[in-house]
A and B are shown apart, each in its own frame.
Chain A
Amino acid sequence: MSTRPTPRVRVPGNIKAGDIVEVKTLIAHEMESGQRRGSDGKPVPRRIINRFTATFNGKPVFEAEWHPAISANPYQSFFFKPTENGELKMVWKDDDGAEYTATNRITVS
């Protein structure tokens, strides 16, 4: 891939204490399954994002382990119940060891 994948995250604004909010994420990535043959007939090596983690103030909220069956440009949504102000950190881990990160400041009213 020529460009570094940039994650996009959407967290609803105006969160009240006790609310359960849905966080939606999207990241551009080919998610090469390793099951495909290239035009030269040789298998294309697998390269996917294999793990997505979301933590809030360092504590785990949600984690997804992705197998090659996950579509290209993977979308992931999850729920989150913030009880205090803090930082929601999301990390996508690539097969090649690279990590892509996004952080969102959460303010609870």
Chain B
Amino acid sequence: MAGPHAPRTRRAVLRLAALAAAAAVIGPDLARADAKAVEAELKKLFDGKTMAEGRVKLDVPQIAENGLVVPITVEVESPMTEQDYVKAVHVFADGNPLPGVLSFKFSPAAGRASASTRMRLAQTQNIIAVAEMSNGALFTAKAEVKVTIGGCGG
């Protein structure tokens, strides 16, 4: 019983392995297809200014079952006074048809530089947040979201 089935199973396994290998080669390329678009967008907004890591907390799920509704919270460490506050936070996605996701603009009257919304993600990709401080300093954070079912098309 096992005999005649064994070769077919092995062939299937081999085919799967080949597919997986192909996906591994193509996959990251597809995901990075828009990384350039994000870079271009960042260059347009900040003209190549240096960005430091830290102070930005990007809260997104590691795994999003439904790419149509992915919660996102961005919080930036800041005293939020007239002298020292967070001016804006920009969020980008490097695997969506369009790189821009949102821009939040804060004022000292907000008291806390934190806001939440929900976004659509077409596939597994990186989310990049850039915070602009009142003194012009830039801080950034990055997180990967694995998307089970993409939130595009329909």
Q: CB within 8 Å of B: which residues of A?
A: 20, 33, 35-37, 56, 59-72, 74-81
Contacting residues, chain A, for B100 (C-beta < 8 A): 67, 69
- Select which of B70, B96, B107, B152 is within 8 A of A61 by beta carbon: B107
Taking CB atoms, residues of chain A closer than 8 Å to B116 are 75-77
Which one, B7-15, B117-125, B135-143, is touching chain A? B117-125
Which B residues are CB-close (under 8 A) to A20? 111-112
Contact present for A67 and B110 (CB under 8 Å): no
The 8 closest A-B pairs by CB, nearest first: A81-B111, A79-B112, A20-B111, A63-B105, A65-B103, A71-B118, A67-B100, A69-B101
- A68 near B105 (CB under 8 angstroms)? no
A80 to B111 Cα, complex, angstroms: 6
Given contacts A35-B152, A69-B120, A70-B102, contact A64 B115 (CB under 8 A): yes
Nearest chain A CB to B68 CB, angstrom units:
6
Chain B stretch 21-63: residues in CB contact (< 8 A) with chain A: none
A75 to B104, CA, bound (A): 13
- Whose C-beta in chain B lies nearest to the C-beta of A70? B119
Does B18 have its Cβ within 8 Å of any Cβ on chain A?
A: no
- Tell me if B2 counts as interface (CB < 8 A to partner A): no
Instruction: Please tell me if the beta carbons of A36 and B153 are within 8 angstroms of each other in the complex.
Output: yes
Chain A, Cβ-Cβ closest to B109: A61
Complex interface: chain B residues within 8 A of A56 (CB): 109
Q: Shortest CB–CB separation between residue A89 and chain B, in angstroms? A: 13
- The bracket for how many chain B residues form the interface is 20 to 34
State which residues 65-113 of B face A: CB under 8 Å. Answer: 68-70, 80, 93, 96-98, 100-107, 109-113
Nearest CB of B to A54, in Å:
9
Contact A62/B111 with A67-B101, A70-B118, A76-B116 known, Cβ cut-off 8 Å: no
Interface contact B93-A69, CB-CB below 8 Å: yes
CB atoms of B102 and A71 under 8 A apart: no
Residues on A with beta carbons closer than 8 Å to the beta carbon of B134? none
In angstroms, how far is the closest chain A Cβ from the Cβ of B83? 16
- Decide: A71 and B103 in contact? CB cutoff 8 A: no
Chain B residues lying within 8 Å of A37, measured Cβ to Cβ, are 153
Known: A59-B109, A61-B109, A62-B104. A78 touches B115 (CB 8 A): yes
Asked if A59 meets B154 with Cβ closer than 8 Å, knowing A70-B119, A77-B116, A79-B112, the reply is no
Docked pose: A74 CA to B14 CA in angstroms: 45
Query: CA of A77 to CA of B113 in the docked complex: distance in angstroms?
Result: 11
